[in-house]
């Protein structure tokens, strides 16, 4: 659970003094302060001191309630009661000690001032940003040639994260040639859903050949993998797990993921349901995607008219029939645990030029149209006759612009 910043004593004292001095209706602000001329020797020593004690006790009680309400404003993850209930506890210890409008304004001002230099979040977890506007912009502006993937990913991710109580993880499988944007989109998701992007405590990235290179250690890998998933879910109520080179994952690792991907029974729901997204990135099925896209373009279709229905059936069939990977024979595919197979289309010359332009801009370098053309021409295009698709997509574009630096 995310903890709020330390609450310094001076801030508590300042808040208490502010509320005590300025709130209308507080003791000391009333016109009738009671009889002042008591007879000496009445048998009640120090009546003024007794009155002060009563006022201090009442002030302390009210200040603690105001502090609790302010605390729930800026550290909601640590708040045990909702704000309305706390406001209701501000019942007057003396008549006139409610939550007057001016007191509410003081709380609003103090909250705004505090949040001007500290993290305050409506979600209660400042690590989670869920910037869907930024995600939509990135997918439409920074991602080139992938209208189908961009629309599908935005719709499914936003729809899932806005569910009040999801009963399973969202599982997306990205398929396409290297350099078409699979890793790029995974990074976009991390950057727009989490404040710290891929470095967030709520995001884990696994690369099959790097994290799980030796089949003989698969039992150890299974234990570590499931442990990391469990620990990450305990730390964060919204998590993202990315598996790159998914087609190279050991079958037993895929099997170990089953409990985390399947639908949960209602009695297993938590009071605050977890939201988990699994992304599997793979080159599997890329040849079928390329073949279908080429046939559609030859038949007169515009690239932007290609839909998921054109590609997904043959893509799934190719994945299931593949003998080069256990991915298609795993529980993920056989038990329909993957919500969507997302095809990434092969990139054309015009898309490579856009990638080159973005590479120049990201390094704040000037460029010419001739430079963009020269970089695009460095790539290898296939098929041999049509020379239509870049065989590397936009991969290594950033390195190629070094040739044009002064």
Does domain 132-262+273-345 bear CATH number 3.20.20.70? no
The end-to-end CA distance of the chain, in Å, is 51
Span 5-47, pLDDT tens digits: 444 545 555 555 455 444 444 444 444 444 444 444 445 556 6
Q: Report the run of H or E that residue 241 belongs to, with start and end.
A: strand 238-244
User: What's the alpha-carbon Rg for the chain, to the nearest Å?
Assistant: 30
The winner for highest mean pLDDT among 3-7, 22-26, 53-57, 377-381 is 377-381
Lowest mean pLDDT among 111-115, 159-163, 294-298, 401-405: 111-115
Q: Structural domain boundaries of the chain?
A: 132-262+273-345, 352-403
CA angle 286, 325, 346 (to 5 degrees): 10
Give the residue from 151, 255, 270, 129 showing the smallest Cα distance to 200.
Answer: 129
Can you give the length of the chain in residues? 406
Alpha-carbon distance of 304 to 256, in angstroms, equals 38
**Per the confidence metrics, is the pTM higher than 0.85?**
no
Given a cut of 60, is residue 289 above it in pLDDT?
Answer: yes
Span 157-174, pLDDT tens digits: 999 999 999 999 999 999
What are the residue ranges of helices labelled H in 215-285? 218-235, 251-256, 258-261
For residue 347, CA distances in Å to 210, 377, 381 come to 27, 13, 10
For residue 45, CA distances in Å to 35, 41, 42, 49, 146 come to 15, 8, 8, 9, 85
């Amino acid at each position: 659970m995310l903890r709020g910043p330390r609450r310094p004593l001076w801030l508590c004292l300042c808040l208490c003094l502010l509320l005590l001095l300025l709130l209308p209706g507080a003791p000391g602000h009333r016109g009738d302060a009671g009889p002042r001329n008591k007879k000496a020797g009445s048998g009640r020593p120090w009546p003024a001191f007794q009155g002060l004690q009563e006022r201090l006790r009442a002030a302390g009680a009210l200040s603690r309630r105001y502090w609790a309400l302010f605390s729930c404003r800026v550290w909601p993850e640590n708040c045990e009661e909702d704000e309305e209930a706390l406001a209701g506890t501000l019942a007057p210890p003396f008549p006139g000690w409610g939550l007057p409008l001016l007191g509410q304004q003081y709380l609003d001002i103090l909250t705004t001032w505090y949040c001007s230099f500290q993290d305050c979040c409506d979600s209660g977890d400042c690590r989670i940003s869920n910037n869907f506007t930024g995600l939509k912009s990135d997918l439409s502006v920074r991602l080139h040639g992938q209208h189908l993937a961009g629309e599908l990913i935005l719709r499914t991710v936003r729809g899932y994260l806005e569910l009040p109580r999801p009963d399973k993880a969202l599982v997306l499988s990205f398929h396409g040639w290297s350099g078409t944007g699979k890793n790029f989109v995974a990074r976009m998701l991390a950057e727009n859903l989490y404040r710290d992007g891929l470095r967030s405590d709520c995001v884990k990235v696994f690369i099959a050949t790097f994290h799980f290179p030796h089949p003989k250690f698969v039992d150890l890998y299974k234990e570590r993998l499931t442990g990391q998933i469990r620990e990450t879910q305990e730390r964060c109520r919204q998590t993202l797990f990315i598996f790159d080179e998914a087609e190279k994952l050991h079958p037993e690792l895929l099997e170990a993921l089953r409990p985390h991907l399947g639908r949960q029974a209602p009695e297993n729901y938590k009071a605050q349901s977890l939201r988990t997204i699994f992304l599997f990135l793979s080159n599997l099925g890329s040849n079928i995607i390329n073949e279908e896209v080429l046939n559609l373009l030859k038949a007169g279709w515009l690239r932007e008219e290609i839909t998921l229905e054109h590609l997904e059936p043959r893509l799934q069939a190719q994945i299931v029939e593949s003998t080069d990977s256990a991915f298609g024979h795993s529980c993920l595919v056989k038990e329909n645990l993957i919500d969507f197979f997302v095809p990434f289309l092969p990139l054309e010359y015009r898309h490579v030029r856009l990638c080159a332009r973005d590479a120049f801009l990201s390094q704040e370098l000037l460029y010419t149209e001739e430079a963009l053309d020269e970089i695009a021409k460095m790539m290898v295009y296939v098929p041999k006759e049509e020379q239509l698709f870049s065989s590397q997509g936009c991969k290594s574009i950033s390195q190629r612009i070094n040739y044009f630096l002064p």
